[in-house]
Amino acid sequence: MRKITYREALREALREEMRRDANVFLLGEDIGRYWGGAFKVTDGLAEEFGDERVRDTPISESAIVGTAVGAAITGMRPVAEIMFGDLTALAMDQIANQAAKIRYMFGGQATCPLVVRTPFGAGVNIASHHSQSLEAWFMHVPGLQVAVPSTPYDAKGLLKTAIRGDNPVFFCEHKLLYPIEGEIPENEYVVPFGMADVKRQGSDVTVVATLYMVHKALNAAGMLESEGISVEVIDPRTLTPLDRKSIVSSVKKTGRLVIVTEDCKTAGVSAEIAALAAEEALDYLDAPIKRVAAADTPIPFSPPLEQFVIPNEKAIIKAVKEVV
């Protein structure tokens, strides 16, 4: 199998879907031929598909998503890029009140097949307005689907599913994942929504992790193995729909659950997964559920401060050892 980066995997998904369906088009700030996207995901696509279909926009997040909504309900399949996840706050009405509800409140008349792609995550010292992980906001809005790919394989397969689907998809990327390499098949494939992936099999403890935290969890699992602790790492891959069954059955098998996410702990993604285990697998748990998540602070700038608030391998190992 060939190896490509997460960034290239996303680009391949966009390219293949744009070739397959003339209704797919991209819009966002600086995604076109002059810049290729702030994280270069769309680099080279304007050259192939033209400026009409790889559309540079004004700095108008609300209008970017609103325009995508209007295009989606009239037959197009727009993929909007919001340069940083933090800036989705500017487009929140269009995402949460319009895109998510337009089908429901019009009694199923509308189909709103749009994708909003955006990078979350800390780790590159760009502080409070460019580093947050806000996935939980979007999980809380019925009508949206939320994808959280952690590998190049998942990124490509999930993005293709997102573009082909008839629902609005909030597609979370992580800026530290873009250069990560992974194996990708030559043949076309898609990754269905609502299907978790067991990234590592184990028997002593279940670690559910998302996005960049999947890699930290896998590192931690490798270190714990040498101490005789067998960790199963589960990546939900989509938060909505959430593969509740896979998570619950792993917890039933290991009897222990640690959840590792980069969003703030309070009312975060980890809270929802913990509640799931409490509701559906309490009798199987041999220890309290542990959550490893970001501190309830804005993301600070200075490297030692930033590193302090973001979960690391050490914190994961500590949490695992507390429950086994």
Least distance (Å) between residue 125 CB and another protein: 30
Identity of the residue, 24 or 248, whose beta carbon is nearer to another protein in the bound complex? 24
Which helix (H) or strand (E) covers residue 104, if one does?
helix 102-105
Least distance (Å) between residue 110 CB and another protein: 6
Least distance (Å) between residue 166 CB and another protein: 4
Identity of the residue, 164 or 253, whose beta carbon is nearer to another protein in the bound complex? 164
Between CA 73 and CA 50 the distance in angstroms is: 23
Least distance (Å) between residue 99 CB and another protein: 10
Looking at the annotation, which residues are catalytic?
130
Identity of the residue, 167 or 246, whose beta carbon is nearer to another protein in the bound complex? 167
Q: Which tokens sit at 254?
A: 């290991």
Identity of the residue, 238 or 250, whose beta carbon is nearer to another protein in the bound complex? 238
Which stretches of the chain bind another protein, using CB under 8 A? Answer: 23, 25, 52-53, 57-58, 60, 62-63, 65-76, 78, 93-94, 97-98, 102-113, 142-143, 145, 165-167
Q: Which long-range contacts (CB under 8 A, 24 or more apart) does 213-217 make?
A: 213/150, 213/260, 213/261, 213/262, 213/292, 213/311, 214/150, 214/151, 215/150, 215/180, 216/260, 216/311, 216/312, 216/313, 216/316, 217/260, 217/316
Q: Counting Cβ atoms within 10 Å, is residue 131 exposed (0-12), middle (13-18) or buried (19+)? A: buried
